[in-house]
Amino acid sequence: MYTVADLKKGLKITLDGDPYLVVAFDFVKPGKGQALYRTKMRNMINGTLLDRTYRSGETFESANLEERQMEYLYKEGSHYTFMDQQTYEQVVMEEETMGDAKYFLLENCKVDVMLFGEKAIGIALPNFVNLRVTETEQWAKGDTSGNDSKPATVETGYVLRVPPFIEEGELIVIDTRNGEYSTRVKG
Amino acid sequence: MKSNALWLRAQIIRAIRDFFWERGFLEVETPLLIPANAPEEHINPFITLPCWQLQTSPEICMKRLLCTGHQRIFQISHCWRSDERGSRHLSEFTMLEWYRAGCDYLDLMADCEGLLQHVASVCLPGNPVYRRKSREIDPFQSWRRISVQEAFLRFGQVDVWDCLQKGLYEEILTAQVEPGLAEFSEPVILMDYPSKLAALARLKPDQNILAERFELYMGGLELANGFSELNNPVEQRRRFEEANRLRLEKCIAPLPMPEPFLRELSDMPPSAGIALGVDRLVMLAAGADTIDQVVAFTPEEL
């Protein structure tokens, strides 16, 4: 249980049954008047933003969130299945909830899954993942067009810009935080 | 860069001192640790040792100096209010207060004009204007005066008495009235507060539902709160007791009575006094968005 005094950016609370992340917060108190706590919160399941103003004395339920390391097993339709390797418990996440994370997941890869009660609501990816290039144009030696990058598709179907020297079948490192090419895996 | 703000802060404090010294005010220092502040519904002191609190304002001690015959006094001191932290609030902050015997709140408004013009010309040479959210506020333009009721009708399309009754006063004030006041390029005096919003102010003689209280706003930022002082000890005790009753209703501990102040209050001549947030004045002079930018350290950095 939290009180308004605990409100700050980054706090996670439960509101109307959903987990919310406080993304902006300010304390206002007009001349000798009652204090107001203005918050902007993001729904951690569907991403919608919500503005709420609270007064002193109000309380909040903390969000019952747990992060567990799980293995990504497979995708079926729009469902992604993960398994806790200790308990063999499985959870399913909707493609919509996964967002762009789906582009950086390979089967059997280990990720931290965020659970709200029983429900998987997000995953924390490693900052860098290695993915194989499945499709990209051949770089014509002596190309003087001045382009310093070209599109490439990786094994998860994700398309990004890579330097011209990258060839099909090569393994590249992608920064999952911005989705950009980082370097080539040598060897 | 912060050192610029700290230079500006030092210059402003020096300019404030010069302003009051030149006008014959006595600079005083009253104790910061006191047995009792003025009990107010929404102000929570830090209780330090048993029976001692940090001041939430130097008003109690400064008014006692008026009771002993001082005519014009000012003080720059730190004040503490528990649980107040935001982009415009610090639990420990710097307050300027000044008091004048034989004057009322209209005289304080004139002092404010003189002070803010003086600070701007000394500390902001070349372009003597204050800044808030990319808007310039010129203290040399003629200042706007607007009553609380007018402001609520104009910016909130609501009656302030209605808001008070429904417990919406603070919400309308911060969500509609203050943003409305932020549109003016001159300082604004919001005046004549409903009497229930004035714990220590004198009521208007011809209209006792209003108190002779005002707040100074620049760019929508509340900078100072001044009023004609109540000097009736019976009425003052009743208001303090009412504040404690409201605290108890919300399960907040009532506060001790400042008994020596109440005993001496009948000796206080008709007077007026005002509190101005020095950190906020520095924010306006520096064009800073948050109070964090104008103090040497925030509590989080300690």
Q: Of B63, B20, B21, B111, nearest to B271 (Cα)? A: B63
What type of residue sits at position B292?
A: D
- Put simply, whether B84 touches A (Cβ < 8 Å) is yes
The per-residue pLDDT for A44 is: 87
Q: What is the domain class of B2-301 according to CATH?
A: alpha beta
Classify burial at A109, counting beta carbons within 10 Å of its beta carbon; exposed 0-12, middle 13-18, buried 19 or more. middle
Which of B174, B197, B274 is the best residue to mutate to test the A interface, defined by the most A CB atoms within 10 Å of its own CB?
A: B174
- Put simply, whether B222 touches A (Cβ < 8 Å) is yes
Please report residues of A whose CB lies closer than 8 A to that of B178. 30
Helical spans, DSSP H, in chain B? 2-22, 59-67, 105-123, 148-151, 160-166, 169-172, 178-181, 233-249, 259-264, 278-286
Q: What angle do CA A124, A129, A133 make, to 5 degrees?
A: 135
Q: What angle do CA B173, B156, B200 make, to 5 degrees?
A: 35
Can you say how many angstroms the Cα of residue B183 is from the centroid of all Cα atoms in its chain? 21
Helical spans, DSSP H, in B26-154? 59-67, 105-123, 148-151
A 10 A CB-CB count for B59 gives: 24
Q: What pLDDT band is residue B246 in, cutting at 50, 70 and 90?
A: very high
CB contact under 8 A, B87 and A30: no
Distance in angstroms (rounded) separating the CA atoms of residues B145 and B126: 27
Residues 188-217 of B with CB under 8 A from A: 197, 199, 215
Q: pLDDT digit string (tens) for B41-96? A: 999 999 888 889 999 999 999 999 999 999 999 999 999 999 899 999 999 999 99
Out of A27, A35, A53, the one facing B42 most closely (by C-beta) is A35
The CA distances from residue B245 to A65, B240, B249, B255, B256, in Å, are 41, 9, 6, 10, 12
CB contact under 8 A, A35 and B215: no
Distance in angstroms (rounded) separating the CA atoms of residues B69 and A101: 73
Whole-number mean pLDDT of chain B? 96
Distance in angstroms (rounded) separating the CA atoms of residues A52 and A42: 11
The per-residue pLDDT for B93 is: 98
Q: Phi-psi region for residue B223, left (φ > 0), alpha (ψ -120 to 50) or beta?
A: alpha
Distance in angstroms (rounded) separating the CA atoms of residues B227 and B236: 14
Q: What angle do CA B287, B288, B292 make, to 5 degrees?
A: 160
Q: What pLDDT band is residue B36 in, cutting at 50, 70 and 90?
A: very high
- Put simply, whether B152 touches A (Cβ < 8 Å) is no
Which of B37, B40, B42 is the best residue to mutate to test the A interface, defined by the most A CB atoms within 10 Å of its own CB?
A: B42
- Whole-model pTM: value is 0.81
The per-residue pLDDT for A141 is: 67
Please report residues of A whose CB lies closer than 8 A to that of B43. 32
Q: Is the pLDDT of residue B176 over 80?
A: yes
Q: What count of CB pairs under 8 Å joins A to B?
A: 49
Which of A27, A32, A39 is the best residue to mutate to test the B interface, defined by the most B CB atoms within 10 Å of its own CB?
A: A32
The per-residue pLDDT for B221 is: 97
CB contact under 8 A, B40 and A53: no
The per-residue pLDDT for B294 is: 98
CB contact under 8 A, A32 and B170: no
Q: Phi-psi region for residue A157, left (φ > 0), alpha (ψ -120 to 50) or beta?
A: left
**Which residue reads 């398994």 in tokens?**
A83
Task: Please check whether residue B288 is in contact with residue B5, taking contact to mean a CB–CB distance below 8 angstroms.
Answer: yes
- Put simply, whether B227 touches A (Cβ < 8 Å) is no
CA of A55 vs chain B CAs: smallest distance (Å) = 10
Classify burial at B134, counting beta carbons within 10 Å of its beta carbon; exposed 0-12, middle 13-18, buried 19 or more. exposed
The per-residue pLDDT for B1 is: 63
Please report residues of B whose CB lies closer than 8 A to that of A34. 41-42, 169-170
Q: Which residue in chain B has the smallest CA separation from A25?
A: B86
DSSP secondary-structure letter at B75? E
CATH architecture of the domain formed by A65-124: Beta Barrel (2.40)
- Range list for CATH 2.30.30.30 in chain A: 2-62
CA of B83 vs chain A CAs: smallest distance (Å) = 7
DSSP lists the bridge partners of residue A83 as A71, A90
Q: What pLDDT band is residue B39 in, cutting at 50, 70 and 90?
A: very high
DSSP secondary-structure letter at B300? G
How would DSSP label each residue in B187-253?
-EEEEEEEGGG-SSBPEETTEEEEEEEEEEEETTEEEEEEEEBP--HHHHHHHHHHHHHHHHHTT--
Q: pLDDT digit string (tens) for B270-280? A: 999 999 999 99
Pick the CATH number of A128-184 from 3.40.50.720, 2.40.50.140, 3.10.180.10, 3.40.30.10: 2.40.50.140
Please report residues of B whose CB lies closer than 8 A to that of A31. 215, 222, 225
Tell me the pLDDT of chain A (187 aa) as tens digits. Answer: 888 888 888 899 999 889 999 999 999 998 888 899 999 999 988 889 999 999 888 888 888 888 899 999 999 998 999 999 999 999 999 888 888 888 998 888 889 998 988 888 888 888 899 999 999 988 776 666 667 889 999 999 999 999 988 999 999 999 998 999 999 987 6
Q: pLDDT digit string (tens) for B189-213? A: 999 999 999 889 999 999 999 999 9
Q: Is the pLDDT of residue B135 over 90?
A: yes
Distance in angstroms (rounded) separating the CA atoms of residues B171 and A23: 21
Task: Please check whether residue B158 is in contact with residue B148, taking contact to mean a CB–CB distance below 8 angstroms.
Answer: no
How does strand B144-147 pair with strand B188-194? parallel
CB contact under 8 A, B173 and A34: no
How does strand A180-184 pair with strand B26-27? unpaired
**Which residue reads 């509101």 in tokens?**
A15
Please report residues of B whose CB lies closer than 8 A to that of A29. 42, 84, 86, 89, 170
CATH architecture of the domain formed by A2-62: Roll (2.30)
Distance in angstroms (rounded) separating the CA atoms of residues B112 and B254: 34
CB contact under 8 A, B83 and A56: yes
- Put simply, whether B174 touches A (Cβ < 8 Å) is yes
Q: Phi-psi region for residue A94, left (φ > 0), alpha (ψ -120 to 50) or beta?
A: beta
Distance in angstroms (rounded) separating the CA atoms of residues B66 and B57: 16
- Range list for CATH 2.40.50.140 in chain A: 65-124, 128-184
